[in-house]
Amino acid sequence: MRHFLDLHKLTSEDLRGILTQAAAMKTARTGQPKGAPDDGVPLAGRMVALVFEKPSTRTRVSFDVGVRQLGGETLVLSGKDMQLGHGETIADTARVLSRYVDLIMIRTFKEETLLELAEYATVPVINGLTDASHPCQIMADMLTFEEHRGPIKGRKVVWAGDGNNVCTSFLHAAGQLGFDLTFTGPEALDPDPEAVAFARGKGSTVEIERDPLKAANGASLIVTDTWMSMHDPESARQRRHAMLRPYQVNEALMAAAGGNALFMHCLPAHRGEEASDGVMDGPNSVIFDEAENRLHAQKAIMRWCLRV
């Protein structure tokens, strides 16, 4: 069984193979209509369940379109449809869904929900996002960086702002793919220490630098994410804004990197908060390539899971 749960649970060779296939499939689609099927339609006859406890735009659209391009069909289920862990156990839901579909993608809150689903499912499970990690996004980010700047191994990545679930997966990728990461943000929002330890244990340099301009020096890539969750109360929003305002990615921060650094944001963005309009729309921004590459990276992940 090949589950795609977190980047540190796969081998670096598997991750590199997925990225290679994603790049090849993207190249092969050049000039084709967006609805055209891929050659060979490797998911023909396959049914993929897309389970959303958390709402989504990019994850839902990119997985749905990806399955269709690969020749498969999707069954989209919301948290209201399923009541995961309420009334029926997650284990039983996993057993039942496995009788109907060939692959399950889940976007949920607790990492434990993902892990229990994978433990009892008899088909592959893909982590579409949890509160702890977001591995599909980082595979798209790696694909994006390398198509613009070449191999990421040995490069310096700067994460600015909140050391959240996306930052955790970036640290996992640093260890697996051999790049260094500097976090700049308030101490209260430091990244997950286990993810930091994993990356360091794999030989990557991970630094914490409170001065964002110092952190940006020599960076090949600067990344940020939204400061707010849709579930945060207004009082929490105000506190987080005050903490994070010094870590906005703006023109001065990009200049401190030396002028050649790429800028990424997994979107949706609150323009003028975590990043300025000038950076988001600037020549070094690859945020829309990054969004497109969710499609190609996830298609390669699904093919890896199903060995097709």
Active site residues: 107, 134, 137, 225, 266, 294
Cα→Cα distances 264→46, 168, 280, Å? 33, 16, 8
Task: Report how far residue 238's alpha carbon sits from residue 123's, in angstroms, rounded to the nearest whole number.
Answer: 43
Q: Which residues pair with 157 in a beta bridge?
A: 181, 221
Contact 280, 306 (CB under 8 A): no
Q: Which residues pair with 206 in a beta bridge?
A: 181
- The residue length of the chain stands at 308
Within 10 angstroms of residue 205's Cβ, the number of other Cβ atoms is 12
Contact 293, 66 (CB under 8 A): no
Contact 127, 135 (CB under 8 A): yes
Q: Which residues contact 256 (CB under 8 A, 6 or more apart)?
A: 212, 213, 214, 216, 217
Cα→Cα distances 137→1, 116, 130, 288, 303, Å? 22, 22, 12, 13, 17
Task: Report how far residue 95's alpha carbon sits from residue 98's, in angstroms, rounded to the nearest whole number.
Answer: 5
Question: Cα-flanking dihedrals φ and ψ of residue 163, to 5°?
Answer: -80, 70
Q: Which among 33, 58, 37, 24 is positioned nearest to 304, based on CA atoms?
A: 24
Contact 298, 24 (CB under 8 A): no
Q: Which residues contact 272 (CB under 8 A, 6 or more apart)?
A: none
Let me know the angle formed at the C-alpha of 238 by 235 and 240, rounded to the nearest 5 degrees. Answer: 110
